[in-house]
Chain A
Amino acid sequence: MISDIVNVIFCLGNCVLLVNLRRMRLEKCWFCSSTVYPGHGVSFLLLHVFKGYITLLLLKIFHFCRSKCHKNFKMKRNPRKVKWTKAYSRLHRKDMTQDSTFEFERKRNRPERYDRNLAENTLKAIKKIDKIRSDRASDHIKNRLKTGKVQRQKEARKQLELGIHLVKAPLALAQDSSLCLPKIKVNVSQAQTEENQPMEE
């Protein structure tokens, strides 16, 4: 991690850094948890600087996908309280939090010797795992919203029953007991249809 850093630009005690990595890696935005692709965003390095000497101790790296997240961070906002972030949604159980599919993706610090078969299998597996994970996540959300739907339907039905008198006369209701709008009857006289009256200009 530390050996990845190449350039450091000092700026008023904060370090805004261009991280030049030996290997490409997609990072997660610290604020909104979206992926930061290489070449995008800003990374903030929290360093401990020893007095008087140019020695630094790297404490934490923050990645930001865009200036919105970066500015929010500078305003010292807590992402867990900011509605549009993933941190919030996970905390408030809007999104799936625990699942076996999350176990597959883990940052490994020990590199493995290259094996073509393993690589192939991994690439195929990633697709499958992705599909399963997204299916489960959408199911989770669907289930979460299902109760709301049911409730809304119940309410709608009730409202329909209670309020039908506003749009339908009780007499009409007696004739046609379905909870629908009354059918408007229009009398069309025969005489009119037979005569072909010339149109008045």
Chain B
Amino acid sequence: MVQNNFKKITVVPNGKDFIDIIISRTQRQTPTVVHKGYAISRLRHSFALMISNPFYGDLLHVLYNKDHYKLALGQINTARNLISKIAKDYVKLLKYGDLLCRCKSLKVAALGRMCTIRQHMARLPSIDPNTRTMLICGYPNVGKSSFMNKITRADVDVQPYAFTTKYQVIDTPGILDRPFEDRNIIEMCSITALAHLRAAVLFFLDISGSCGYSISQQAALFQSIKSLFMNKPLIIVCNKTDLQPLDGISEADRKLVMEMKGGEPTNEEGVLLIMSTLTEDGVIAVKNAACERLLNQRVELKMKSKKINDCLNRFRVALPKPRDQKERPACIPQAVLETKAKQAAEKEKRKTEKDLEDENGGAGVYSASLRKNYILSNDEWKEDIMPEILDGHNVYDFIDPDILLRLEELEHEEDLSPEEQEALAEIRKKKSLLIQQHRMKKSTAESRPVVPRKFDTDRKFTTERMGRQLSSLGLDPSLAINRARSKSRGRKRERSVDRRDGDDGDAMDIDDNQASKKLRLRSTSRSRSRSRPPSEVVPGEGLKDSAQKVKTIKLAKKSVLKRNKNARRGEADRVIPTLKPKHLFSGKRSIGKTQRQ
């Protein structure tokens, strides 16, 4: 029953932990609601219960100084009140917070104020009687504090500190460094209370004697304190072995040390360990040994207690009965062993940043490369220096994944560049030429014969011409030229070719020469009379008036039209260019016989 009480008492958190607890709680809730204290009322209640029991009351008094405790609890209460007041203020302010960041900063401010309140108060004691403890004792200057520093990595002040692996380390300056003779009763009480703690004891011994006390003095201290450490795992730690190795001490001293070690029949092995806080070897070993011993002790204790028997009854370890004397060890596949070994090797080999620093000249000389572990699409970019300022602008303000696209759009808004204007001029020129051509064609289309291009009488459609036109458009003509040539050579029978694949340029070409030639052929005189419109009646023509002339011209044209279209030179032209055109005399019929075509 008493046991239960003890366990129920939650540890009154340390000032710092207090804050951490509150902050972590507030982080989880959004919008933030500031929580009040930490079930203070519960603590008080259990505290009251405990005090009523005299034995525990005394213990508590000794351990914590119950007035102090009371005071601390009272202070927590006032803290709680103050905190609630602050909370109210800040909640009011939160109403005016328009941005989340402002609310957050308000919250931070609120917590800050609470922390300052907290700091103004006395620190609460925080020895938890239930967790595993390590008691460090020995003369001053022996190296207790430096040991504490090494394992807790914290500055040692006066009070004990909890450290990470659920162990408490209790340093005892001023308490356990003097023999009991010259102590007053209060001190004695506190010392005996410490004895109640379930702790491992680390007794520090200065081998080199540099603390100012000889080994014999230290041994004497040990003997006097010994009574406290009944039933506690004891470890004797010889410190400062860098100054004086254990083997080098004198015979008498060694005997004393052995006495200390072997002197307790109650403990299994008085373990003797050596270490040096300066060179740091052995420190971890000591810590591990102490932890182990403590753990073992607790396990034993648990085993011995009645409760465990109840548990033990409930389970049973079943082992297969050995059939014969053959050994059957556990079968671990080779792959697993290999990976395990590799992992172990890796762990050992892994280089930390600190090692790297030490290699390259230490803290002031080497500066760690922070860019090493950047995650980029391309690892070559890790050392890139990006300019932050360009021409009076912040470059980071312009960064945009589709900046190029938007820039293009922007440029489209602008005027055309000179090159573009050139191109535009060219386009317009060519277009006007096309229109001209078309008009000419149209005007003479009715009466001009449509001679297919393969009858290239002027020998105009050459590969050179094609090459020139293609290259002016920006293409490489060699391929086309080669193909044309090969094709032309391939055909033996006729020289008609598919030369003009992809040669759109040809159609666009100026047929000036041809047209003008035709015009020349048709027109007979080049006198000034041609400048007059053809429908005008010129004296000496034999026609009555312009209207009649127009009619006449029309008639003449009409009669000539059909002949021109069939490329006949005149009325009497009855020539047949090909008597047996291939396209009419070859091929299968879709319906009917092909006996005669």
Contact = CB atoms under 8 A, between A and B. Distances in A.
Contact of B392 (A35, A53, A119): A35
B395 A123 contact: yes
A126 B391 contact: yes
Nearest to A133: B410
Contact of A125 (B106, B407, B413): B407
A114 B376 contact: yes
B381 A114 contact: yes
A18 B56 CA distance: 59
Contact of A100 (B389, B400, B410): B410
A25 interface: yes
A41 B479 CA distance: 68
Interface string A168-191: 000000000000000000000000
Interface stretch (A8-16, A79-87, A103-111): A103-111
A130 interface: yes
A121 B387 CA distance: 13
B397 interface: yes
Contact of A108 (B101, B390, B396, B406): B396
Interface residues on A, range: 35 or more
Interface string A68-104: 0000000000000000000000000000000011011
A123 B384 CA distance: 14
B443 interface: no
A115 to B, nearest CB: 6
A100 B413 CA distance: 10
A156 interface: no
Contacts of A106: 397
A14 B101 CA distance: 23
B392 A26 contact: yes
29 contacts: A25-B396, A26-B393, A26-B394, A50-B109, A55-B109, A56-B109, A57-B106, A57-B109, A58-B105, A100-B413, A103-B406, A105-B394, A105-B397, A105-B398, A107-B394, A107-B397, A114-B376, A114-B384, A115-B376, A118-B403, A122-B399, A125-B404, A125-B407, A126-B391, A126-B393, A126-B398, A127-B391, A128-B411, A129-B398
A112 interface: yes
B378 A122 contact: no
B238 to A, nearest CB: 48
Given A114-B384, A121-B404, A104 B398 contact: yes
Interface of A: 2, 23-26, 35, 50, 53, 55-58, 100-101, 103-108, 111-116, 118-119, 121-123, 125-130, 132
B410 A132 contact: yes
A104 B374 CA distance: 28
Given A26-B394, A55-B113, A57-B105, A118 B399 contact: yes
A74 B23 CA distance: 40
Interface in B17-70: none
B390 A2 contact: no
A119 B411 contact: no
A105 B414 CA distance: 19
B403 A57 contact: no
Interface in B404-421: 404, 406-407, 410-411, 413-414
The 5 closest A-B CB pairs, nearest first, are A55-B109, A116-B381, A105-B397, A125-B407, A125-B403
